[in-house]
């Protein structure tokens, strides 16, 4: 890193000279992510795009085409164009976004166009030195492990991408702007008229990312007034990163407090995660917002179905479902596991504590823009702050408090922790363990508990 110059802060070698086929490509929870110019290179992007093209050819879906989008990270537009050329060169028609586009809008483009899938060049909330490539399947959802394993195998087998500039694929790539169509979709899912009627004032922070021109524009269509910060694309995300957690949203909190706004709304760098600031400048954790929103949708909209949540997401959602007589569906961590509950109609809402949600009738992909507008609708209709609504919910279903704490540990400490948690404990931090859930990691359910003892024990485990 240098002093912040946009042209010098992240140096990436020329596309034609980078060629490191020794790199092993692995897809994580939501795509392949790596540091720019180390593993995330033009050569490796071509390898992954060629493998995706080969997969679509093998499944017979290649002619349905692919939508390619990208965020505001360093060279994301060039990486996207490179991937698009490789796909088109292998006979896969490509619709390419002409500008940065949020991940949920890419998912919508896939579904609306009945395409075989889509690629988004993004590393989502990861630091700016990272970039990534996310493959979504025909339903708009992130590809499941069985699909990404096939792609990884094809990359390893060396699916031929061809040298840069040699595909001759320009005719197979056409620009497609999805913004207006996506706006119409959001207008079907959110009661914008209710927001207009309440005349609420909102602060907006798109975090220098792909939801610029989406979140702010949609809010201006509904709210009495909108004050926006960080609304210019910046590959370093202003030096604070693209996430929209409590630390990153302090400027938005100050804006809401100083201007006496009703609400502050944010999305992360690719627009799939949400961040919410309540009246008075108070950050609202996703694990508190999600149950309050679920209760609002059940009482005010009288929606049908249950709720899907990841294993790491608050059990307050279970209490809301029990109160309203609805089922709860628990999945491993990762939105790709939640999507099926939406598409099947079993759930009206699916969500996870890492600030992700979607609704039935929308795409099975996290949508931070939708979440932000639903928060505005809820505050407008109920006429009270989110904290006031949470207190009312606690009176009806019981209080349950959550706090997420992240520990950054080295690989050796992580391995020691995993070994110590292999056996099922009868007690932890002096509290009896009544149930251990190993669906994804280790989740201990206690008979009763004290937060400080639990945190102290967690700190001891990683030391």
Q: What confidence tens digit (pLDDT) does each residue in 180-218 have? A: 999 999 999 999 999 999 999 999 999 999 999 999 999
The DSSP secondary-structure symbol of 25 reads P
Question: Would you say residue 277 has pLDDT above 90?
Answer: yes
Q: Which carries the bigger pLDDT value, residue 189 or residue 402?
A: 189
Asked if residue 44 and residue 128 are part of one domain, the reply reads yes
- Contact between 216 and 231 under an 8 Å Cβ cutoff? The reply is yes
Asked if residue 416 and residue 391 are part of one domain, the reply reads no
Asked if residue 428 and residue 389 are part of one domain, the reply reads no
pLDDT score, position 253: 98
- Contact between 244 and 210 under an 8 Å Cβ cutoff? The reply is no
Residue 19 lies in a domain: no
Residue 18 lies in a domain: no
Q: Which two tokens stand for residue 422?
A: 């292999």
Residue where a domain stops, chosen among 128, 156, 177: 177
Asked if residue 317 and residue 441 are part of one domain, the reply reads no
Tokens 């932890």 appear where?
428
pLDDT score, position 12: 43
Residue 189 lies in a domain: yes
Tokens 């505050």 appear where?
379
Asked if residue 448 and residue 357 are part of one domain, the reply reads no
Residue 3 lies in a domain: no
Residue 16 lies in a domain: no
pLDDT digits 0-9 by tens, 405-443:
777 788 888 788 777 777 767 777 777 777 777 776 777
Residue 356 lies in a domain: yes
Is this prediction's pTM over 0.85?
yes
The CB density around residue 381, as the number of other CB atoms within 10 Å, is 16
Asked if residue 149 and residue 263 are part of one domain, the reply reads no
Residue where a domain stops, chosen among 397, 432, 454: 397
Q: How far apart are the first and last CA of the chain?
A: 31
The CB density around residue 227, as the number of other CB atoms within 10 Å, is 19
106, burial (CB in 10 Å: exposed 0-12, middle 13-18, buried 19+):
buried
Question: How confident is the prediction for the chain on average, in pLDDT?
Answer: 88
Tokens 């540091």 appear where?
35
pLDDT score, position 161: 59
The number of domains in the chain is 3
State phi, psi for 304 to the nearest 5 degrees: -105, 155
**Beta-sheet pairing, 274-278 with 263-267:** antiparallel
Question: Would you say residue 166 has pLDDT above 70?
Answer: no
Residue 402 lies in a domain: no
Asked if residue 100 and residue 221 are part of one domain, the reply reads no
Asked if residue 240 and residue 144 are part of one domain, the reply reads no
Asked if residue 197 and residue 173 are part of one domain, the reply reads no
- Contact between 369 and 273 under an 8 Å Cβ cutoff? The reply is no
Radius of gyration of the chain (CA): 22
Q: Domain holding 194: CATH number?
A: 3.40.120.10
Domain limits for position 415: 411-462
Question: Would you say residue 163 has pLDDT above 70?
Answer: no
Asked if residue 367 and residue 232 are part of one domain, the reply reads yes
Asked if residue 149 and residue 187 are part of one domain, the reply reads no
- Contact between 224 and 61 under an 8 Å Cβ cutoff? The reply is no
Please compute the mean of the pLDDT values over residues 305-320 and round it to a whole number.
93
Residue 24 lies in a domain: no
The DSSP secondary structure of 121-176, one letter per residue, reads E--TTS-TTEEEEEEEETTSSBPPHHHHHHHHHHHHTT----STT-S--GGGEEE-
pLDDT digits 0-9 by tens, 59-97:
999 999 999 999 999 999 999 999 999 999 999 999 999
Residue where a domain stops, chosen among 177, 211, 229: 177
Asked if residue 384 and residue 258 are part of one domain, the reply reads yes
CA angle 418/422/424 to nearest 5° reads 135
325, burial (CB in 10 Å: exposed 0-12, middle 13-18, buried 19+):
exposed
Q: Tell me the C-alpha distance between 158 and 398, whole Å.
A: 56
Q: Which two tokens stand for residue 363?
A: 């795409």
Those residues with Cβ within 8 angstroms of residue 194's Cβ, 6 or more apart along the chain or in another chain: 377, 380, 381
Segment holding 6, helix H or strand E: none
């Amino acid at each position: 890193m240098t002093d912040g110059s946009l042209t010098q802060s992240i140096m990436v070698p020329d596309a034609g000279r980078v060629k490191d086929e020794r790199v092993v490509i692995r897809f994580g929870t939501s795509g392949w992510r790596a540091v720019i110019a180390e593993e995330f290179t033009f050569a490796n992007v071509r390898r992954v795009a060629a493998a995706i093209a080969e997969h679509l050819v093998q499944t017979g879906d290649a002619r349905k085409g692919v939508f390619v989008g990208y965020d505001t990270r360093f060279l994301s537009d060039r990486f996207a164009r490179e991937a698009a050329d490789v796909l088109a060169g292998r006979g896969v028609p490509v619709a390419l976004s002409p500008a940065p586009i949020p991940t949920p809008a890419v998912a919508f483009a896939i579904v609306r166009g009945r395409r075989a899938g889509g690629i988004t060049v993004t590393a989502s909330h990861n630091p700016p030195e990272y970039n990534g490539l996310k493959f979504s399947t025909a339903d708009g959802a992130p590809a499941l492990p069985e699909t990404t394993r096939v792609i990884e195998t094809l990359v390893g087998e060396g699916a031929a991408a061809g040298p840069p500039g040699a595909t001759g694929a320009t005719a197979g790539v056409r620009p497609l702007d999805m913004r207006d169509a996506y706006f119409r979709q959001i207008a079907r899912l959110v009661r914008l008229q209710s927001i207009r009627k309440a005349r609420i004032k909102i602060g907006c922070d798109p975090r220098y990312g792909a939801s610029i021109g989406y979140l702010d524009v949609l809010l201006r269509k509904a709210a009495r007034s909108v004050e926006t910060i960080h609304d210019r694309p910046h590959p370093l995300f202003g030096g604070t990163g693209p996430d929209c957690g409590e630390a990153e949203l302090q400027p938005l909190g100050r804006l809401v407090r100083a201007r006496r706004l009703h609400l502050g709304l944010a999305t992360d760098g690719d627009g799939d995660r949400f961040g919410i600031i309540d009246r008075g400048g108070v950050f609202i954790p996703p694990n508190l917002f999600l149950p309050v929103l679920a209760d609002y949708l059940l009482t005010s909209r009288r929606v049908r179905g249950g709720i899907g949540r990841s294993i790491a997401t608050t059990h307050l959602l279970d209490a809301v479902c029990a109160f309203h007589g609805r089922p709860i569906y628990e999945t491993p961590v990762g939105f790709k596991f939640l999507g099926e509950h939406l598409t099947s109609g079993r759930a009206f809402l699916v969500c996870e504590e890492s600030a992700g949600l979607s609704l039935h009738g929308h795409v099975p992909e996290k949508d931070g823009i939708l979440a932000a507008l639903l928060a505005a609708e809820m505050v407008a209709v109920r006429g009270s702050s989110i904290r006031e609504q949470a207190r009312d919910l606690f009176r009806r279903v019981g209080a349950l408090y959550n706090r997420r704490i992240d520990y950054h540990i080295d690989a050796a400490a992580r391995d020691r922790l995993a070994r110590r948690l292999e056996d099922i404990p009868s007690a932890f931090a002096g509290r009896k363990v009544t149930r251990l859930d190993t669906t994804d990691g280790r989740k201990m359910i206690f008979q009763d508990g004290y937060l400080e003892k639990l945190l102290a024990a967690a700190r001891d485990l990683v030391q």
